[in-house]
């Protein structure tokens, strides 16, 4: 070959040809491998949309450069192999495929209508063509053969000519009648019904949950779960996989007059007892609400609320006479088209795994993704929910993952494409301190979520903490609602609870839509809120698991904020209705120096709470044992521990678990141990049950004495 000049135009052309050839053969190999996993093993590595993308690329390449075409190209045959375990079934009438309108815009309907009209030779002013519009179920095409009304055979589509006999498995599908419903006419000699076997989303979720519980492999989506079930060799296992079915067409028919339109055909199939989807319509032409475009739009809006997955809608020329006139191209009827919606799953790469702290303090691992267009938007982040989900899915940085975005739902990582990790990547670990505020991160026993314990100190939880603090049942700061909190935080005016009380009129009034008058009102409301009560203040702090009732119990039990802040787990457990989870939550909260600081700063800002809140003053401090702490130890002759505790508390006293100098009485029964000894050594008065009863009676008498008049 003569030496070619560097700038010879032939040179790039030659190398282009070589790289095109390489690309085509690489695509063919990939498609073969993926098709095998998808069709034969029912265990695809990539989402359908990614497969379609590769397929389309190869098809475009072969079209533009026919010399690249090879006989074994996946574009040259319908895919799908007969598994060893199933008997092949030759379809009496081939199962056609359906043309897909690649255009996902609404104009797909118009393109189809225009083509139909052209092929039927209709003039522009001819009336609209009538279409039957239905859903495109995302399942597995199946042929059901009924002979004299009895289901005799069910077969997969296979390559359209030959499928597999899956009668055993299909017979387990409750929705599929084993016998056609009698409705006054004789069942046809032969009726072949075609439709889609699919799995409902709730069934899918339950199935996966069960699989997980049994330590078995889970499925990435309902379609794969359905396909796996239909081609399950053991019908007993297939029977446990919840499948559903919708009919949408016919195969071989003998001894039945097929209705003249598709819509009437579906009505007739429904009358035979076959499941037919209710979301279907008869449309006049393409345009407008009454046309295919309107149906496409309506179903698009409904898509995410449907209990099953669809990947598009299907338009069919309604009149069979017209269908016959239009005929077929290769294996696709000219009278039908599938119009897809944007794929809800795509492949992309995980670039990093970050932690997001939510308004409630929940830490969520989030995958930062190479941007990918999925479900109609570009997605760059996807939730991994929690550490357990992340571990279960085995997601690591650098992995290629399937991302799903359905409707308004937050995009999520469905799973990892296996076998692509190139080097060692460490497993992701949850941080032990909050990435936002540095507070401890905890996970409660039996819970999957990790949480920041920073609470009102944590910037991520700021707005939530402020709203909670301001609410009526807490500090009751009138006028401090959602919008204002957003504004204050976003403007940087308030970062912590104490800063609420440091706002000046000038800065406040400078806020958008904030008149002088409203600023003054807010300041007045803040001022008024300073005179708080202990239970309201405590509740307002937003300690996890401390609701209004618990806050009241705590206030009544301890009487003072400082005692609550310093209470040990043991002491907290003495409070009525406080169990280990709540006690831990309170302890952890006050173990965060930031949280103690917030309390101190609020105090410094002038927020006050009487040591005994007014509500309990009426029930409690006027009560006979108000302010008295008793300790119970040993077994009393007639009272159970709980009964004694209730009697003391009803009289306004507190029951503590440990004896100290502050203990007023120790009530000792049989087999009293170290607490009795301690009381003796400290000189704390010791009572038996009779003594306790006496004390209560005496106290009641005291309390009945007239109170001094209030000034």
Q: What residues act catalytically?
A: 136
Contact 401/417 with Cβ under 8 angstroms? yes
Minimum distance, C-beta of residue 162 to ligand D41, in the bound complex (Å):
14
CA 366 – CA 77 distance, rounded (Å): 41
Nearer to ligand D41, 157 or 303 (CB): 157
**Pick from 234, 224, 99: nearest CA to 166:** 234
Task: Please count the other Cβ atoms lying within 10 Å of the Cβ belonging to residue 301.
Answer: 9
Please, which residues bridge with residue 441 across strands? 452
Rule CB under 6 A: choose which of 46, 89, 98, 379 binds ligand D41: 98
299 binds ligand D41 (CB under 6 A): no
Nearer to ligand D41, 135 or 465 (CB): 135
Task: State the alpha helices, DSSP H only, in 272-328.
Answer: 292-302, 320-326
Minimum distance, C-beta of residue 314 to ligand D41, in the bound complex (Å):
4
Please, which residues bridge with residue 666 across strands? 631, 686
Minimum distance, C-beta of residue 414 to ligand D41, in the bound complex (Å):
21
Rule CB under 6 A: choose which of 62, 101, 113, 134 binds ligand D41: 134
- How many helices (H) and strands (E) would you count in the chain? 26, 24
Q: Which stretch binds ligand D41 (CB under 6 A): 22-30, 131-139, 554-562, 596-604?
A: 131-139
97 binds ligand D41 (CB under 6 A): yes
412 binds ligand D41 (CB under 6 A): no
Rule CB under 6 A: choose which of 28, 34, 136, 450 binds ligand D41: 136
248 binds ligand D41 (CB under 6 A): yes
Q: Which stretch binds ligand D41 (CB under 6 A): 130-138, 161-169, 386-394, 454-462?
A: 130-138
**Is the dihedral angle over the CA atoms 277, 279, 282, 285 positive or is it negative?**
negative
- Exposed e or buried b per residue across 46-74, where buried means at least 16 C-beta atoms within 10 angstroms of its C-beta: bbbbbbeebbeebeebbeeeeebeeeebb
231 binds ligand D41 (CB under 6 A): no
Task: State the alpha helices, DSSP H only, in 231-276.
Answer: 235-239, 262-271
196 binds ligand D41 (CB under 6 A): yes
Contact 641/657 with Cβ under 8 angstroms? no
CA 213 – CA 230 distance, rounded (Å): 22
Task: Please count the other Cβ atoms lying within 10 Å of the Cβ belonging to residue 653.
Answer: 24
Q: What is the DSSP string of 86-142?
A: S-EEE-SS------EE---STHHHHHHHHHHHHHHT--TTSPPPEEEEEEEESSEEE
Minimum distance, C-beta of residue 286 to ligand D41, in the bound complex (Å):
18
**Is the dihedral angle over the CA atoms 324, 327, 333, 339 positive or is it negative?**
negative
Minimum distance, C-beta of residue 598 to ligand D41, in the bound complex (Å):
58
Radius of gyration of the chain (CA): 37
Q: Which stretch binds ligand D41 (CB under 6 A): 17-25, 134-142, 147-155, 461-469?
A: 134-142
The dihedrals phi and psi of 621, each to the nearest 5 degrees, come to -75, -20
- For the chain, what percentages of helix, strand and coil (3-state, to nearest 5) are there? 40, 20, 40
Minimum distance, C-beta of residue 250 to ligand D41, in the bound complex (Å):
8
Rule CB under 6 A: choose which of 96, 306, 322, 573 binds ligand D41: 96
Nearer to ligand D41, 316 or 557 (CB): 316
Nearer to ligand D41, 160 or 376 (CB): 160
Task: State the alpha helices, DSSP H only, in 436-576.
Answer: 462-470, 482-490, 497-500, 505-509, 516-529, 534-540, 548-558, 561-566, 569-573
281 binds ligand D41 (CB under 6 A): no
Nearer to ligand D41, 339 or 654 (CB): 339
Rule CB under 6 A: choose which of 39, 137, 315, 469 binds ligand D41: 137
Nearer to ligand D41, 328 or 388 (CB): 328
Task: Please count the other Cβ atoms lying within 10 Å of the Cβ belonging to residue 86.
Answer: 19
Minimum distance, C-beta of residue 40 to ligand D41, in the bound complex (Å):
17
Q: Say whether 400 sits in a helix, a strand or coil.
A: strand
Nearer to ligand D41, 315 or 539 (CB): 315
Minimum distance, C-beta of residue 198 to ligand D41, in the bound complex (Å):
9
Nearer to ligand D41, 55 or 248 (CB): 248
**Pick from 159, 196, 173, 176: nearest CA to 311:** 196
466 binds ligand D41 (CB under 6 A): no
- Cα-based distances in Å from 8 to 3, 11, 12: 10, 6, 8
249 binds ligand D41 (CB under 6 A): yes
Minimum distance, C-beta of residue 584 to ligand D41, in the bound complex (Å):
53
Q: Which of residues 306-345 bind ligand D41 (CB under 6 A)?
A: 314, 316, 333, 336
462 binds ligand D41 (CB under 6 A): no
141 binds ligand D41 (CB under 6 A): yes
Q: Which of residues 486-515 bind ligand D41 (CB under 6 A)?
A: none
Minimum distance, C-beta of residue 63 to ligand D41, in the bound complex (Å):
23
The dihedrals phi and psi of 495, each to the nearest 5 degrees, come to -115, -30
CA 168 – CA 185 distance, rounded (Å): 28
Q: Which stretch binds ligand D41 (CB under 6 A): 133-141, 233-241, 299-307, 406-414?
A: 133-141
Nearer to ligand D41, 98 or 366 (CB): 98
Nearer to ligand D41, 266 or 679 (CB): 266
Residues of this chain that interact with ligand D41 (CB under 6 A) are 96-98, 134-137, 141, 157, 196, 248-249, 314, 316, 333, 336
């Amino acid at each position: 070959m003569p030496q070619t000049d560097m700038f010879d135009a032939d040179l790039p052309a030659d190398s282009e040809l070589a790289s095109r050839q390489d690309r085509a053969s690489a695509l063919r190999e990939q498609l073969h491998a993926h098709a095998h996993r998808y069709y034969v093993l029912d265990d695809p590595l990539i989402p359908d949309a990614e497969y379609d993308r590769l397929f389309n690329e190869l098809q475009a390449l072969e079209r533009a450069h026919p010399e690249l075409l090879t006989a074994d190209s996946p574009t040259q045959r319908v895919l799908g192999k007969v598994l060893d375990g199933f008997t092949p079934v030759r379809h009496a009438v081939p199962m056609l495929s359906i043309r897909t309108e690649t255009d996902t815009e609404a104009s797909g309907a118009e393109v189809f209508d225009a083509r139909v009209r052209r092929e039927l030779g209709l003039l522009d002013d001819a009336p609209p063509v009538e279409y039957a519009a239905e859903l495109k179920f995302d399942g597995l095409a199946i042929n059901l053969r009924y002979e004299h009304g009895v289901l005799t055979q069910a077969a997969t589509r296979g390559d359209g000519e030959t499928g597999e006999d899956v009668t055993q498995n299909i017979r387990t599908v409750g929705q599929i009648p084993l016998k056609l419903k009698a409705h006054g006419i004789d069942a046809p000699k032969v009726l072949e019904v075609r439709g889609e076997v699919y799995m409902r989303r709730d069934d899918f979720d339950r199935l996966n949950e069960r699989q997980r519980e049994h330590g078995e492999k889970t499925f990435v989506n309902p379609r794969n779960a359905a396909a796996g079930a239909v081609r399950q060799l053991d019908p007993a296992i297939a029977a446990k996989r919840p499948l559903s079915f919708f009919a949408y067409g016919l195969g071989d028919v003998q001894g039945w007059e097929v209705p003249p339109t598709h819509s009437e055909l579906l009505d007739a199939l429904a009358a035979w007892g076959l499941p037919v989807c209710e979301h279907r319509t008869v449309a006049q032409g393409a345009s407008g609400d009454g046309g295919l475009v309107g149906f496409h739009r309506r179903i698009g809006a409904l898509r995410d609320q449907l209990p099953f997955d669809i990947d598009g809608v299907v338009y069919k020329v309604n009149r069979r006479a017209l269908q016959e006139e239009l005929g077929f191209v290769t294996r696709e009827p000219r009278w039908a088209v599938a119009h897809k919606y944007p794929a809800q799953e795509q492949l992309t790469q995980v670039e990093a795994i970050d932690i997001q702290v939510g308004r409630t303090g929940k830490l969520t691992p989030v995958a930062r993704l190479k941007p990918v267009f999925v479900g109609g938007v570009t997605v760059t982040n996807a939730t991994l929910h929690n550490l357990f989900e992340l571990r279960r899915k085995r997601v690591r940085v650098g992995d290629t993952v399937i991302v799903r975005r359905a409707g308004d739902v937050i995009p999520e990582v469905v799973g990892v494409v296996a076998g692509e990790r190139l080097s060692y990547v460490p497993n992701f670990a949850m941080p032990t301190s909050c990435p936002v505020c540095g507070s401890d991160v905890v996970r409660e026993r039996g819970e999957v979520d990790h949480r920041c314990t920073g609470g009102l100190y944590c910037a991520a939880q700021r707005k939530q903490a402020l709203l909670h603090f301001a609410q009526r049942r807490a500090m009751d700061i009138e006028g401090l609602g959602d919008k204002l909190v957003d504004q204050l935080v976003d403007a940087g005016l308030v970062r912590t609870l104490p800063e609420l009380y440091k706002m000046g009129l000038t800065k406040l009034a400078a806020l958008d839509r904030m008149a002088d008058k409203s600023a003054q009102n807010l300041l007045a409301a803040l001022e008024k809120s300073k005179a708080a009560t202990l239970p309201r203040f405590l509740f307002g702090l937003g300690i996890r698991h401390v609701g209004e009732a618990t806050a009241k119990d705590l206030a009544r039990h301890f009487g003072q904020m400082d005692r609550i802040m310093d209470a040990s787990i043991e002491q907290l457990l003495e409070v009525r209705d406080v169990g280990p989870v709540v006690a831990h939550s309170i302890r952890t909260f006050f173990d965060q120096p930031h949280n103690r600081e917030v309390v101190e700063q609020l105090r410094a800002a002038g927020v006050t709470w009487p040591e005994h809140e007014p509500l309990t003053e009426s029930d409690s401090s006027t009560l006979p044992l108000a302010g008295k702490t008793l300790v119970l130890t040993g077994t009393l002759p007639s009272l159970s521990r709980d009964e004694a505790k209730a009697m003391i508390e009803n009289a306004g006293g507190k029951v503590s678990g440990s004896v100290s100098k502050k203990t007023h009485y120790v009530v000792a029964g049989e087999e009293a141990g170290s607490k009795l000894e301690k009381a003796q050594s400290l000189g704390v008065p010791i009572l038996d049950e009779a003594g306790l009863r006496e004390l209560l009676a005496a106290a009641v008498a005291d309390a009945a004495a007239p109170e001094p008049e209030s000034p």
